[in-house]
Structure 1
Amino acid sequence: MATRTPRKAAGISPWKPAGARAQQREAKRNAVLQTAAQLFNERGFHATSLDDIAERLHVTKPTLYYYVKSKDDILLECVRTALGMMKEGIDEVRRAGGSAIDQLVECMRIYSRIVTMDFGMCVIRIGEDPLPAPRRKELRRLKAGIDLEFRRLIADGIAEGSLAPCDPKMAAFVLAGALSWIGRWYRPDGDMTPEQIADESIALLMAGVRQRPTPAKKAATRKSK
């Protein structure tokens, strides 16, 4: 009786498929960027070295060069990521439609939330100033696109009667400036969550802080006259 030769087991490659390797590399690159953003926010851009970033990630400095070119490259990507998140969020709100004031409030909420995140805080605390001129120009173009969306929403709100007449350019600067400052004073271990900060900030910006007389006080004032 002939014996059957056992079939060899299919070999298992120690290398992951190309798609999985690409995902793993992207995940590690994102970890480099996120860690760098945290350190930039904590220590400042100039006081943070590639050695500091490598040490926090528990890797060697040469390993970083597999994912990024330089410290300037890291800052560029951190700021670009945050601005991209803002633009994507605003675009989504615009596509959803609704009244101009509702869209404006939602865009303010998105902006406020992002500046409490690592990349968003990096935009506010570090910005593009440490970068060479050509890279600063690119990031300023992205910022201008976000500013333009706020101006358009404010102008639409004035047109629909939900916002008081004002200069949309000045109003956009004031709103964005106030919301941006959150990225400077926000602390993850603070008393308020990012959501609470957004709600409170937007309420103050939309209503103002000046005390308005109640209907009863208005009536009393008219009678006294």
Structure 2
Amino acid sequence: MDLKDRDADASRRIRTAAVLLFARRGYAATSVRDLAREVGMTNAGVYHHVASKEALLADLMRGAQQGLIDATEHMLRDVHAPADRLALLISSLTATHALSPMTTRVMDGELRSLTPGSPARDEIIALRDAYEEHWRRAIADGVADGSFRIADQRLTRLALMSMCTGTSEWYRPDGDSTLEQVCAEFVAIGLAAVRSSVRAAAAPDPSLLPEFPWEPPHVRNDPSSAEAGR
């Protein structure tokens, strides 16, 4: 392995350790020393690959948010009906959180740890808003064309997104329900919530979901990292 490959491997291991520790302990409770111990490096070795702990967090959140945006825009490219778009948004967000629970917990829960007013925090907020705009437009378009009947579009969007993101806390591959079943049920619940009579496909193409190379694969079946499967 040459120097470039060793650096890339070390950088990936640091990010994997950071995602695991930030998701389980929280960013504030994780020190650079903890990261160094997890990957078998010195503090100086970690700082060779990252500028600071906050810069590392921002980099992880940026990569996760941008990956989610890119995958979503690719999946929605040729989908036009509001019900179909909403179904795809529900199933893809559900699947992404189920398959990458550590990364998505950090992405969803650690914005508070970025320095208020910093460029990094403003960038992450802008990326988050860009993703949520797909939800806002799908719901607004469904209301506009009469296919959805909703009293409060914002509350409906927040409720549906919270349902999807919750899978990072409880879904397990060895649970009672397959991911396809969870996605299908959530789509049915979502379309019922907007009072749509349209039946839409539930499962996204797995090859189109975002992939996060730093996601710790060994924790997906670890009962300590999530509630018991349902």
TM-score using structure 2 length: 0.71
Q: What does residue 197 of structure 1 align with?
A: 182
How many corresponding residue pairs? 189
Mapped partners of 1:112, 1:101: distance in 2 = 16
Deviation at 1:153, TM superposition (A): 0.8
Structure 2 counterparts to residues 99-178 of structure 1, below 5 A: 99-116=81-98, 117=100, 118-124=102-108, 126-133=109-116, 134=118, 135-178=120-163
Instruction: Give the direction of change, closer, same or farther, for the CA distance of 1:196–1:35 in structure 2 (3 Å limit).
Output: farther
Instruction: Give the direction of change, closer, same or farther, for the CA distance of 1:179–1:158 in structure 2 (3 Å limit).
Output: same
Which of 37, 43, 58 aligns to 2:19? It is 37
Instruction: Give the direction of change, closer, same or farther, for the CA distance of 1:101–1:30 in structure 2 (3 Å limit).
Output: farther
Q: What does residue 74 of structure 1 align with?
A: 56
1:71-124 Cα deviation digits (max 9, x unpaired): 111211121122112111221122122422112211222212222312112123
Deviation at 1:184, TM superposition (A): 3.5
Structure 2 counterparts to residues 85-104 of structure 1, below 5 A: 85-104=67-86
Deviation at 1:28, TM superposition (A): 3.3
Instruction: Give the direction of change, closer, same or farther, for the CA distance of 1:104–1:27 in structure 2 (3 Å limit).
Output: farther
Instruction: Give the direction of change, closer, same or farther, for the CA distance of 1:64–1:151 in structure 2 (3 Å limit).
Output: same
Structure 2 gap ranges (5+): 194-230
Instruction: Give the direction of change, closer, same or farther, for the CA distance of 1:93–1:15 in structure 2 (3 Å limit).
Output: closer
Deviation at 1:129, TM superposition (A): 0.4
Instruction: Give the direction of change, closer, same or farther, for the CA distance of 1:197–1:121 in structure 2 (3 Å limit).
Output: farther
- The code of the aligned residue for 1:173 comes to L
Deviation at 1:132, TM superposition (A): 0.5
Instruction: Give the direction of change, closer, same or farther, for the CA distance of 1:200–1:57 in structure 2 (3 Å limit).
Output: farther
Deviation at 1:186, TM superposition (A): 4.0
Q: What does residue 164 of structure 2 align with?
A: 179
CA radius of gyration, larger in? 1
Instruction: Give the direction of change, closer, same or farther, for the CA distance of 1:15–1:185 in structure 2 (3 Å limit).
Output: closer
- The code of the aligned residue for 1:70 comes to S
1:140-192 Cα deviation digits (max 9, x unpaired): 11111112110101122233443224443332222112222333444566544
- The code of the aligned residue for 2:140 comes to A
Instruction: Give the direction of change, closer, same or farther, for the CA distance of 1:194–1:65 in structure 2 (3 Å limit).
Output: farther
TM-score using structure 1 length: 0.72
Q: Please say if residues 89 and 107 of structure 1, whose CA atoms lie closer than 8 Å, have aligned partners that are also in contact.
A: no
Instruction: Give the direction of change, closer, same or farther, for the CA distance of 1:72–1:186 in structure 2 (3 Å limit).
Output: farther
Q: Please say if residues 91 and 184 of structure 2, whose CA atoms lie closer than 8 Å, have aligned partners that are also in contact.
A: yes
- The code of the aligned residue for 2:161 comes to A
Q: Please say if residues 79 and 139 of structure 1, whose CA atoms lie closer than 8 Å, have aligned partners that are also in contact.
A: yes
Deviation at 1:194, TM superposition (A): 4.3
Range with greater deviation from structure 2 (171-180 or 192-201): 192-201
Q: Please say if residues 81 and 119 of structure 1, whose CA atoms lie closer than 8 Å, have aligned partners that are also in contact.
A: no
Higher relative contact order (CA 8 A, sep 6+): 2
